[in-house]
C-alpha cells in the first residue's frame, strides 16, 4: 500500500485517512438510512458513529503500543535510552532512506 494515495493541488491524501473516511462515511450513511426506515432518530446514529470512530482510532493506537512487542522499548526511550536495542543508527535515521530530517 502506498502511504500517499494521491495529490490534489499540492495537498497529499494519505491512503489510511482516505480509506478510513470512506468506510466511516459509507457505514454511517447506511446506518442513517436504516434508522429512518425503522422510524428512529438518525441523529443518534451519527453521534454514535462519531464516538465509534474516535474510540476506534484511540483503541487501535493503544493496542499497537501495548501489543506490538516493543512496549518496553517505547518506555525506555523516555526513561533510559541506553536500554533500547534497535539496530538503527542516528545517521541512518537522517538518511534519504527514511526521509529523516
pLDDT digits (tens, 9 = 90+) for 17-71: 888 889 999 999 999 999 999 999 999 999 999 999 899 989 998 888 888 777 7
Residue with more model confidence, 33 or 92: 33
Residues 73-91 have a mean pLDDT of 72
User: Which position has the grid cell 541512518?
Assistant: 92
Residue-level pLDDT at 31: 95
DSSP 34-55: HHHHTT--HHHHHHHHHHHHHH
Amino acid at each position: 500500500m502506498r502511504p500517499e494515495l494521491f495529490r490534489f493541488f499540492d495537498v497529499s491524501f494519505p491512503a489510511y485517512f482516505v480509506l478510513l473516511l470512506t468506510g466511516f462515511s459509507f457505514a454511517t450513511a447506511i446506518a442513517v438510512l436504516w434508522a429512518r426506515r425503522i422510524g428512529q432518530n438518525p441523529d443518534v446514529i451519527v453521534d454514535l458513529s462519531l464516538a465509534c470512530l474516535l474510540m476506534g482510532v484511540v483503541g487501535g493506537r493503544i493496542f499497537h503500543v501495548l501489543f506490538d512487542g516493543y512496549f518496553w522499548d517505547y518506555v525506555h526511550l523516555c526513561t533510559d535510552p541506553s536500554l533500547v536495542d534497535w539496530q538503527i543508527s542516528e545517521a541512518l535515521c537522517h538518511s534519504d532512506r527514511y526521509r529523516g530530517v
